[in-house]
């Protein structure tokens, strides 16, 4: 560990919660120097198809072996052509969706930046509405639409004309955001200008696993149509099948104007991000959102193979079955441990909210106990109080059950035995 502590920046994050040196991984298991761990973090959503997926790996090896293009700026290449063709044939056309594909810089945040820039350019307006609890990335534009005040500290003073509205979160507030939005937009003296766009996640993941109701999303779409505001869906974490369907907004039957994909789009954890643009909005001039790493060919090969893999394995059906298991397990085995525990989720993203205990150390303690027992599970949401269950979509059922049992045991030990009572937790936090 010494080399990391001595030389790596203080900015490092996940590694602090999971202090071991990882050196190998397969499917839903990641191997540390000390032992193996079930991975319920899955590269923060970048590994929906598991670590080192055999099907995707084989395609990448075959590609590399021919000395094909590895880095291609935004040249036309066969790897990119194959990805575009597959994405249109397997995803867009069957879903009756018409989008242009913009390949952005390698990480999600760059595609968020592109979406915000394009929305402002198209509408000639500057404002953006975002939601409390939102997470959209760490560069200034995407951070300006991210709610977490602690991480926004770095951009104070350049908040970029962003107005935050309450997300439909029955737990925190029953505030009727859509009625409020309507009154802002209808009132010429509301003090808030009509925005270029509203950016939203269908499930706030980093925000604490809050699932937007279908009706709310439909009304949000209708409101944007009525007022000529662009709707941007950030599907970086919960897209690519995480909620069941390929796009998470499909369950509401809505079509956003701009859609942002990254994380699992490349299938193997290779950096890649994609902005989907309704054709009439694609008014970029050549080179207006450029970047050296928009042509990661290995990522394109992985992404094409990932779409093939989805079809071959009937992944959507598998996710439905596992969703059923997770919902049942969490409600029947975890919730009864203590009535302060709240369960939320959809598809294969679930949260165990421990916020009601008012103990900032509790979720951290559970995560640490899980790690000691061979499970990687991260915390999200206000106060990091929510344990986030985010396994690879193709995790074996038996390993999924094993991981869930580790959480059950850790919670039971912590909440019902005297070894880890509140007094002990206070000591831990002291």
Binding site for ligand PLP (CB under 6 A): 44, 107-109, 112, 135-137, 201, 205-206, 234, 236-237, 262
Cβ distance to ligand PLP smaller for residue 302 or 365:
302
Cβ distance to ligand PLP smaller for residue 201 or 353:
201
* CB of 47 vs ligand PLP, minimal distance in Å: 13
* CB of 61 vs ligand PLP, minimal distance in Å: 25
Cβ distance to ligand PLP smaller for residue 234 or 257:
234
Give the alpha-carbon dihedral of 51, 319, 215, 131, to 10 degrees: -20
User: What count of other Cβ atoms lies within 10 Å of the Cβ of residue 38?
Assistant: 23
Cβ distance to ligand PLP smaller for residue 138 or 159:
138
Whose structure tokens read 């109080």?
Answer: 385
Q: Which residue is nearest to ligand PLP (CB)?
A: 108
Cβ distance to ligand PLP smaller for residue 136 or 289:
136
CA distance 263 to 131: 21
143 φ, ψ to 5°? -70, -30
Q: Is the dihedral of CA 305, 310, 314, 319 positive or negative?
A: positive
Which candidate, 13, 356, 9, 351, places its Cα nearest to that of 151?
13
By the 10 Å C-beta count (0-12 exposed, 13-18 middle, 19+ buried), 174 is classed as: exposed
Cβ distance to ligand PLP smaller for residue 112 or 425:
112
- Residue 132 Cα distances to 163, 322, 369, angstroms: 9, 30, 30
Cβ distance to ligand PLP smaller for residue 50 or 137:
137
* CB of 261 vs ligand PLP, minimal distance in Å: 10
* CB of 324 vs ligand PLP, minimal distance in Å: 25
* CB of 291 vs ligand PLP, minimal distance in Å: 13
* CB of 427 vs ligand PLP, minimal distance in Å: 33
Phi-psi sector, 157: left (phi>0), alpha (psi -120 to 50), beta:
left
By the 10 Å C-beta count (0-12 exposed, 13-18 middle, 19+ buried), 324 is classed as: exposed
Cβ distance to ligand PLP smaller for residue 44 or 399:
44
Three-state DSSP at 275 gives strand
* CB of 302 vs ligand PLP, minimal distance in Å: 15
* CB of 398 vs ligand PLP, minimal distance in Å: 28
Cβ distance to ligand PLP smaller for residue 112 or 305:
112
CA distance 148 to 42: 22
Q: What is the DSSP string of 299-321?
A: HHHHHHHHHHHHHHHTHHHHHHH
* CB of 296 vs ligand PLP, minimal distance in Å: 13
By the 10 Å C-beta count (0-12 exposed, 13-18 middle, 19+ buried), 85 is classed as: exposed
Residue 212 structure tokens: 């937007």
Question: What is the separation of C-alpha 280 from the centre of its chain, rounded to a whole number of angstroms?
Answer: 27
């Amino acid at each position: 560990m010494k080399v990391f502590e001595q030389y790596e920046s203080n900015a490092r994050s996940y590694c602090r919660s999971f202090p071991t040196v990882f050196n190998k991984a397969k499917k839903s298991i990641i191997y540390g120097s000390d032992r193996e761990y079930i991975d319920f973090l899955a590269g923060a959503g970048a590994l929906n198809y598991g670590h080192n997926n055999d099907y995707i790996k084989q395609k990448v090896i075959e590609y590399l072996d021919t000395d094909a293009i590895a880095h291609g700026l935004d040249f036309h290449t066969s790897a990119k052509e194959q990805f575009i063709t597959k994405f249109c044939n397997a995803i867009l056309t069957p879903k009756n969706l018409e989008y242009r594909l913009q390949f952005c810089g390698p990480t999600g945040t760059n595609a968020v930046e592109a979406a915000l820039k394009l929305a402002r350019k198209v509408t000639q307006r500057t404002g953006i509405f975002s939601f409390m609890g939102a997470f959209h990335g760490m560069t200034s534009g995407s951070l300006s639409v991210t709610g977490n005040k602690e991480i926004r500290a770095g951009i104070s003073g350049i908040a970029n004309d962003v107005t935050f509205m309450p997300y439909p979160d029955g737990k925190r507030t029953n505030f009727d955001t859509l009625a409020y939005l309507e009154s802002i937009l209808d009132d010429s003296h509301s003090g808030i200008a009509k925005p270029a766009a509203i950016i939203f996640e269908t499930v706030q993941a980093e925000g604490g696993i809050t699932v937007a109701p279908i009706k709310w999303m439909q009304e949000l779409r209708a409101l944007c149509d009525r007022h000529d505001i662009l709707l941007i869906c950030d599907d970086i974490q919960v897209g690519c099948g995480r909620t069941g369907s390929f796009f998470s907004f499909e369950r509401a039957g809505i079509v956003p104007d701009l859609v942002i994909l990254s994380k699992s789009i490349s299938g193997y954890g290779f950096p890649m991000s994609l902005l989907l643009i309704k054709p009439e909005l694609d008014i970029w001039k050549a080179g207006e959102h450029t970047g050296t790493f928009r042509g990661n060919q290995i990522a394109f090969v992985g992404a094409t193979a990932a779409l093939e893999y989805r079809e071959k394995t009937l992944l959507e059906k598998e996710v439905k079955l596992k969703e059923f298991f997770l919902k049942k397990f969490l409600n029947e085995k975890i919730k009864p441990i203590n009535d302060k525990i709240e369960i939320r989720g959809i598809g294969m993203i679930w949260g165990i909210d421990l916020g009601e205990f008012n103990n900032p150390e509790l979720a951290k303690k559970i995560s640490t106990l899980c790690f000691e027992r061979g499970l990687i599970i991260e915390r999200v949401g206000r106060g990091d109080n929510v344990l986030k269950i985010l396994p690879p979509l193709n995790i074996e059922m038996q390993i999924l059950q094993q991981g869930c049992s580790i959480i059950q045991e850790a919670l039971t030990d912590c909440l019902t035995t005297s070894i880890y009572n509140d007094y002990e937790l206070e000591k831990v936090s002291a």
